[in-house]
A = this chain, B = another copy of it.
Amino acid sequence: MNTYSSKLLEEAVNELSKLPGIGRKSALRLALHLLKRNSMEVEFFGNSIIQMRNNIKHCTKCYNISDTDICEICASKKRNSSIICVVEDIRDVMAIENTSQFTGLYHVLGGIISPMDGIGPQDLHIDPLIERVKNDDTNEVIMALSTTIEGDTTNFYIYKKLKDLNIEITTIARGVSIGDELEYADEITLGRSILNRTPYSTKL
């Protein structure tokens, strides 16, 4: 498309445009922005990304991203190790941690079962989850996956593997979002939220 006046610029634009959601026009804008920053800043920028890729670890227990072999959450004495919350990726760990409502441990699957994208159970950290539940002192597994068909499929697959292990298996509540007007909630969500109604409480 473009005739770049510099091979160095062209290469940087090529690389930047490989990022998800960044087209060639945005990539050029980012490259020109980086050119205006001072040399040390840009070196720090590039190196921080390389360092991250080369030195980051995944917790050997829960597969969360970590700088150590066992992540801070798994290593903490303050967390309730009898509850494991199963999530898709580390962004979900962050989102749940931000609520400050959960004090158990996590298990990061690294994705969800999605035949369309060629992702099967063997591509996810499901077997280590089963081992963990079998060997550790687990009372409850909370399934906290997306409320999509893929999420439901993954829930069901894991449920089948865990159901004979004498532990409680729960899923996160599905219902009308807080702050939403009822008339705009979709029918399936609204229907489910009536079926799964909870005792009235003045606490929340």
| B21/A64 in contact, CB under 8 A | no
In the bound complex, CA of A59 to CA of B9 (Å): 14
CB of A32 closer than 8 Å to a CB of B: yes
Classify the interface of chain A: helix, strand, loop or mixed: helix
Within 8 A of B (CB), among A148-184: none
Q: Which residues of chain B come closer than 8 Å to A49, judged between CB atoms?
A: 12, 15-16, 31, 34, 42, 45-46
B98–A2 CB distance below 8 A:
yes
Which of A77-85, A88-96, A131-139 contacts its partner?
A: A88-96
Chain B residues contacting A2 (CB-CB under 8 Å) are: 94, 98
Supposing A34-B53, A39-B53 touch, asked if A94 and B4 sit within 8 A by C-beta, the answer is yes
List of B residues within 8 angstroms of A73 by Cβ? 5
In this complex, how many residues of chain A approach chain B with their Cβ under 8 Å: the count is 60
Bound Cα distance from A26 to B98, whole angstroms = 17
Question: Nearest B residue to A74 by beta-carbon distance?
Answer: B5
Contact of A35 among B28, B29, B52 (CB under 8 A): B52
Interface residues as binary, A32-74 with B (CB distance below 8 Å gives 1, 0 otherwise): 1111010100111111111111111101000011110001110
* A interface with B by C-beta (< 8 Å): 1-9, 11-12, 14-16, 18-21, 26, 28-35, 37, 39, 42-57, 59, 64-67, 71-73, 89-91, 93-94, 97-98
The 5 A-B pairs of least Cβ separation, nearest first, read A46-B46, A42-B53, A12-B52, A46-B50, A8-B52
